[in-house]
A and B are shown apart, each in its own frame.
Chain A
Amino acid sequence: MKQWLNQHAQALQLVLKRMLSNKLSTLMMFCVMGVALCLPGILYVIVDNLNRLAGDVQGEPQISLFLKLDIQQDTIKTLDEQLSKHPDIKTYKFVSKDEAWRQLQLTSGTANIANNIEKNPLPDAYFVSPKNIDPDTIERLQKEMQAWRGVEIAQADANWIKRLYSLLELGEKAIWSLVILLGFALVAIIGNTIRLQIMTQREEIEVSKLIGATDSFIRRPFLYAGALYGLGGGLTALILLLGIVSLFNYSIADIAELYASDFHLALPTLIVTLSMIASAIGLGWIGSYTAVGRSLSQFNAH
């Protein structure tokens, strides 16, 4: 056990020493990995924040039924029954014209306009949330309700949300494709760097093998090196991402204030951050493992 710990501590020490003596190339490596990992990170932050925005809007009704101005009370009752019995409807809310009028007068910005109009021009209305909010269902419901007696206009409000959602799904797919592509690239880059290091330490590896080093002894420092490149790259990516997001938030603060909005980009959660760093470490490890594996089999061949 002590021996095992010793061997790992010693390999780690060796690698840190080597990295410190090659500060420039180590930093370059961190930057290359950092920039590459940062790209899907930024995309993630954008998609994640749009998702959150869309989530806020999603709770709102999808179809508005504006009733005829001269509607009778018993027609409204029939409508209410139709809505409550409809299997595709989750919730609905009745807003009478008086209530709507009051709200309009209270709302700042529209109050002025409302006060200048003497008579309430608004109709009674139902706001309907279907169980299913895919565009097809909403369109079908909207057509069906348009034909109901007493309905002036049935209006599907939020088709754009669905479009946004499918766009966001596309965004998520784009992130994954980017992650996979960059993952391969990083494995190749790290593998190549490690391969060069192996070449410069050829003699040491050869002698070590001759005097009884196991493959895992030889592999160990390179695996640590790969993992450390991953760690450094992941942290660099995180710093870049933090910098970019704060810069963005700082520069939109003024604009957001103009619109009385507190909109800002939220940072990735801790879990996302940790898994970003963990996958960077993993990529480094895989890259160096493949590189060392190839070189070792070459050494073993002769």
Chain B
Amino acid sequence: MIRFDQVNKRYPGSYEALKHISLEITQGELVFLTGHSGAGKSTLLKLIAGIERPTSGTVLINNQNVSKLRTAALPYLRRKFGLIFQDHKLLYDRNCFDNVALPLYINGVTGSEAGKRIRAALDKVGLLGKEKSMPITLSGGEQQRLAIARAVVSRPSILIADEPTGNLDEEYASEIMSIFYAFQQVGVTIVIATHDVPHVENSRTLTLNHGELQA
């Protein structure tokens, strides 16, 4: 499903953020990516989602070489993923419903079909009653759950979350994690970057240290 082969990533004017990364993640896996701040977790997730391109080496998603993809084909690769960003990237000028609608509109799904799916996604994260609320009125945990609803609404087969519990207290954090586990139950591949790895069965942990994968 996801395969890295000797991947290096160097940002312009910076040292190497990732060095010689080789890894494989198969369908339905729950993978935690951990490491100190600046270890390269976000960078690795961005490489998976085609937001950054590797400096050298190959990134394969479903046997498709991301580094060889034309720029015009990147949007279609990104739609395979549900992305949850470190800073939510919610749109604060519209209500919850419209925030979750964005990926569907991008896919050309509108009208009652979109409405059904949006409500289903809000329901899954426990925000069904808040569809008309503005994101700014939500608590931190609720905002994070809204971001998850937006990521799953177009039913991606891979979920990628960058420190989804970073700013949350423990109670909220475990709530968020249990939402992810529910998605793993239905066969979604999940990659989560996090500082503190919870103890979960059927999961794997990858540790980055200064851009290198620790055995």
Contact = CB atoms under 8 A, between A and B. Distances in A.
A113 B19 CA distance: 111
Contact of B79 (A206, A212, A300): A212
Interface in A284-302: 300
A156 B63 CA distance: 88
Q: Interface range on chain A: under 10, 10 to 19, 20 to 34, or 35 or more? A: 20 to 34
A6 B106 contact: no
Nearest to A206: B89
Contact of A212 (B76, B89, B91, B109): B76
Interface in B76-119: 76-79, 83, 85, 89, 91, 93, 102-103, 105-111
B102 A300 contact: no
B14 interface: no
B110 A10 contact: yes
A11 to B, nearest CB: 9
A9 interface: yes
B83 A211 contact: yes
A211 B91 contact: no
Interface of B: 51, 71-72, 75-79, 83, 85, 89, 91, 93, 102-103, 105-111, 150
Interface of A: 3-4, 6-7, 9-10, 203-204, 206-215, 217, 300
Given A211-B83, A217-B106, 14 more contacts: A3-B109, A6-B110, A204-B91, A204-B93, A207-B91, A208-B102, A210-B51, A210-B83, A211-B79, A211-B150, A212-B77, A212-B103, A213-B106, A215-B72
8 contacts: A6-B109, A9-B110, A204-B102, A207-B102, A210-B51, A212-B103, A212-B106, A214-B72
